[in-house]
Structure 1
Amino acid sequence: MANLPEAGAIPDEQLEVLENAGVLVYDGYIVLVEQYDKLLKIAQEKGYTLQKIAEPMVLVPGLIDSHTHICFAGSRANDYAMRVAGKSYLEIARNGGGILDSVRKTREASMVELVDLLKKRCDRHLSEGVTTCEVKSGYGLTTEEELKMLGAIQLVNKHHTLELIPTCLAAHMRPPEHTDSRLYLQEVVTKLLPQIKEQELANRVDIFIEDTAFNEEDSLEYLSAAKELGFEITVHADQFSTGGSRIAAEIGALSADHLEASGEEEIALMREAGVVATVLPGASLGLGMHYAPARKMLDGGLCLAIATDWNPGSAPMGDLLMQAALLGAAEKLTTAETLAGITVRAAKALNLSDRGTIVKGQLADLIAFPTDNYKEILYQQGKLKLGKVWKRGLEV
């Protein structure tokens, strides 16, 4: 995944593939990538520990899931059953479902319960090759409950091999206790965000810009205040209607995520502002709706990341490799574009420059598939299971 363009289309011919190669790792970082025979000689001369893999394997960077909501309690299987039976979002909400159902269940859960649930989801993600994962709050929607969620994420991150990148999504939707969205956002800015900074619980802020959540004007005011406090910005944008991507471009967000409704105008705005377009095929699969226009985004010069949106409502699957493979087939993405979208370009969406490629100086976050042809990875659409996983050079 070295030397790929930061944005735009990627022909498969630009994907560098080394045969009979190896990686020299020291203190969690890649020191050298070279032909195996040359590395063997260096290892013997220096007395390094050598791990030889006899069977054919393809080594790729550890996968990066740059948009998830995996800190939550409860299930929304009832929502899913109603949705596939033809019920609308409003009908499901009236029957006690929707995001507020997850809010109720997450509020009822203890810190210990949230930690245990999050740890189990991290275990599964790591077993499927994800070595870095963004995790949002957003099912608390009060200062106390949002701090509980972010505290759970912090605790798991300290003790789990999978590296978690926390994001404050207190602006997921207006909580039931509030009647004024703008006043609620002001409360988040004055009461919650300073505590998050003080406790070092997150360095990222997100907001859901949509008719059912927050409008563009209030969102821009909120994000401007968060940016002044020193937070990096990402935005839930253009899922059902446009407008969020314009705010993301105006505020200088790292990424705009969802983008199912984005068109040429929105693509141009994001390209000019250098915003990473993060598409979420899991939400499209869960909601039974069309994918974001990934092919048009790449042809329009955008940096495209692919993430799961793993959450209890619209995207319960959480399988990054399978979703990326399905999106690639539907949107006619090259193998290089799809792999970049779940590695190096996903790292860019999280502002992480130390991972996502197999080159000197990068973190030794690596995964190996039991095949002699890298094209099998996407061809088998998530069914080619991992042979090995390394996080910071240590096999897990």
Structure 2
Amino acid sequence: MSEQSPEQTMDNLNQTAAGASDTATEKEFLDNIRQNIDAVDCEIQTLINNRAKLAQQVAAVKKNHTAADDSSDPIFYRPEREAQVLKAVMERNTGPIADEKMARLFREIMSVCLDLEAPQRIAFLGPVGTFTHAAALKHFGKAADTVPMTTITDVFREVEAGTAMYGVVPVENSSEGVVNHTLDGFLSSSLKIIGEVELPIHQNFLVAEHTKLDGLSRIYSHQQSLAQCRHWLDVNFPNVERVAVSSNGEAARRLKNEWHSAAIAGDVAVAEYGLHKLYSNIEDNPSNTTRFLIIGHEAIAPSGQDKTSIVVSAHDRAGALIEILKPLSYHGVSMTSIETRPERPNKWAYVFFIDMNGHINDPNVSAAINDIRPLVKDLRILGSYPKAVL
């Protein structure tokens, strides 16, 4: 078959469908379509490999440039660049595949290409099968080497030590609020926020092959997941004990050896532990979403749609918080969230975590932060990073 452009191939496919005679058999018609599909597949495969070769060229340029400068290790993962690519994919998409599904396809292609440049080791709050695991796969793709950590502190330490390039930690849930352990991690770490992931949280009621529903005596899940499904459980399993465990992955793991138990967890746990969905999407709030942060060492360039996060140690005086917020209003900076944590080891002293729209390189964001600095004991920029795309 002669080589054709994707447009020519699609024209042939449409002509085949439109020109099929009434006397053509179904098999003949389908064979023609399948030949066109095979031709398109060849085009796709060739183009993906061409993209991969270009990624390898990028890696070679970065390595040669770094060697010539005798500087630190080259940076292969560029969150701002990936965000721009994925946004462009969705903007130029014409269907019938939905914008986000098309972007997810490109995310996996980019993940494989990045793996050719430099394999990425990503630490996440484990065990395997948690929503944090799902967030890591969503953000970095399945080609990344995702490594579960026991605690959020362990994720920070793994990235600080350089054993993992980046880490993924939960920071807030739309139903249950902020994850304090993550905020506290930044108080004792110099790591930066380099990205974010927003993951719709859909909870499933899971059972194993050997589960006996008529003898069900306990339901395992993380305490937040149990809270997110409280009403559904009250209606459907009001008399079954609810047991909070360290993670949904741990809840799923426990079903392996227990015939009288069920678990509440996400889709990743289903695949990882070989379980069955008895009920899907049992969360009380269908728009329930958790936000995760990507942590790393480097500062991130602007992507065009960014957030900036800071942590501020305020003076202990009346009106201190109002003083901090005024420069944001004056310079037209939109604050998206603010959280308060104790300033250890000081008694009755507090720090404020503030998220705002914009990049630190934006004049109004930079001016607002510069105006805040003399009003507080300390201010640290945790990072400017692309807003979640997918």
Q: Same fold (TM over 0.5)?
A: no
Larger relative contact order (Cα-Cα within 8 Å, sequence gap ≥ 6) = 1
Q: Structure 2 length as normaliser, TM-score?
A: 0.22
Bigger Cα Rg: 2
